[in-house]
């Protein structure tokens, strides 16, 4: 949802506005822009985790580097409701601490971001690890 799930900017509307042909699934465009994109499904919606260098963000979506507030509306019980958000909520930074020996960054659904490095540039589909069947009797 525009404003709630992705930034309310013209570029993000262009990249995510078409339900069928979303830009972050376009391997050629992603590689041209040198992005590391993890995508997949959450319920019936697409989810994208985009790792980019600062230069790309400054050029294409500089609002994300601010803490500016914006407003958006949604319909709840047939009434328009105004919400406020901040662009900075769409920025995730890796955790570096005693609990992590390597790159670690997750989104609000617990999906891991790809580390921004050459071998991760491109589109990578995410599928959660299947839960182990505790009743399995393997010999």
List pLDDT tens digits, range 68-80.
999 988 888 999 9
Is 95 inside any structural domain?
Answer: yes
Is 138 inside any structural domain?
Answer: no
3-state class (DSSP) for residue 125: strand
> What pLDDT is attached to residue 111?
84
Is 5 inside any structural domain?
Answer: no
Question: How far separated are the first and last CA of the chain, in Å rounded?
Answer: 48
Span 112-133, average pLDDT: 80
Span 74-91, average pLDDT: 90
d(CA 40, CA 34): 19
Which domain does 19 fall in, by range? 10-125
Is 3 inside any structural domain?
Answer: no
d(CA 70, CA 7): 9
User: What residues are paired with 122 via a beta bridge?
Assistant: 36
d(CA 114, CA 133): 28
Is 132 inside any structural domain?
Answer: no
Task: Supply the pTM of this predicted model.
Answer: 0.78
Count the domains in the chain: 1
Is 120 inside any structural domain?
Answer: yes
Is 73 inside any structural domain?
Answer: yes
d(CA 61, CA 82): 23
Res. 58: pLDDT tops 80: yes
Among candidates 30, 105, 27, which has minimal Cα distance to 60?
30
Is 99 inside any structural domain?
Answer: yes
């Amino acid at each position: 949802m525009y404003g709630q799930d992705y930034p309310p900017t013209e570029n993000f509307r262009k990249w995510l506005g078409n339900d069928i042909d979303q830009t972050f699934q376009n391997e050629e465009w992603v590689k041209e822009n040198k992005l590391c994109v993890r995508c997949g499904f959450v319920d019936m919606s697409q989810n994208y985790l985009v790792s980019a260098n600062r230069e790309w963000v400054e050029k294409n979506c500089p609002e994300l580097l601010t803490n500016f507030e914006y407003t958006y509306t949604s319909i709840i019980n047939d009434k328009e409701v105004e919400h406020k958000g901040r662009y900075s909520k769409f920025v995730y930074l890796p955790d570096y601490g005693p609990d992590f020996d390597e790159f670690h960054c997750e989104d609000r659904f617990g999906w891991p971001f790809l580390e921004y490095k050459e071998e991760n540039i491109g589109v990578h589909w995410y599928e959660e690890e299947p839960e182990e069947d505790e009743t399995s009797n393997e010999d």
